[in-house]
Amino acid sequence: MASESEACSWEPHLLHPNGTEPLHRIAVDYCPEACLHERHAGEIHVTYDDRGGARWRSCCRFLPGSAVATTIRAPAGDTSGLNYNIYLSSLEGSADQDEIDFEFLGHDKRAVQTNYYVGGNGGREPWPEKPMYLYASVWDASHIADGAWTGTYHGRDAPYVCSYKDVRVPTAEHSVEDAAHAPAGDPVAADAAAAAEEEKDAGAGEV
């Protein structure tokens, strides 16, 4: 994964790991009007402004051990307070989710923070084993630790646009059915499926 600053030409070196293919479809979990998917260009743009940000995700989950890749262009200007990211999660919001994070903290564009969780815990766990969606979002995290984590949000250069180019995900043989086919007895996945259907009915959801 590579991060390009706003001063760089938007012609990054493309990363195509073996066993991956372009991400053609995404679902938008919230604020779809702040997420633009340009399929023909292979780019996804998430805007943060007075509407808040947006979060997109893949439409299926991927098996552990498979690869993902993308090039990320950081928002221009004073991004203090913002968290822009890309991460894998078995199901966002689940108390026992497995997760692998790559997070850019707005007060320092030169650094990326990585974390991983197994069963909702962030200690020295085993490697994550659950199939995971690919997620990305831009949000104001300045309320965490009184701004010590990402800085204080000023918003003087809004709107902020974080761009994801040439997103690569595992091929079909390394993917599993999405939350729309929630297994019996999985209330969290069922809730996610219902939410996804509501988004589609409202004109959001899959794009």
Q: What is the pLDDT of residue 123?
A: 63
pLDDT value, residue 12: 52
Predicted structure pTM score: 0.77
- Structure letter (DSSP) for residue 88: E
Q: Over the chain (207 residues), what is each successive 10-residue block's mean pLDDT?
A: 50 76 96 96 96 96 91 96 95 85 92 82 68 96 93 96 96 75 43 44 49
- How far apart are alpha carbons 138 and 152 in whole angstroms? 15
User: What architecture (CATH level 2) is domain 2-6+13-206?
Assistant: Sandwich (2.60)
Alpha helix (H) ranges present in the chain? 187-201
pLDDT of residue 195: 43
- Say how far apart CA 122 and CA 192 lie, in whole Å: 23
Minimal CA–CA distance to 189: which of 134, 122, 132, 139?
Answer: 132
| Beta-sheet strands, E only, within the chain | 2-4, 20-22, 26-30, 35-38, 43-48, 55-58, 61-62, 69-73, 82-89, 99-105, 112-117, 133-140, 160-170, 175-176, 205-206
The confidence score (pLDDT) of residue 14 equals: 67
pLDDT, residue 118, reads 82
pLDDT of residue 94: 82
Per DSSP, the residues of 177-205 read --GGGPPTT-HHHHHHHHHHHHHHHTT-E
Q: Could you tell me the residue ranges of all domains in the chain?
A: 2-6+13-206
Strands 99-105 and 82-89: antiparallel
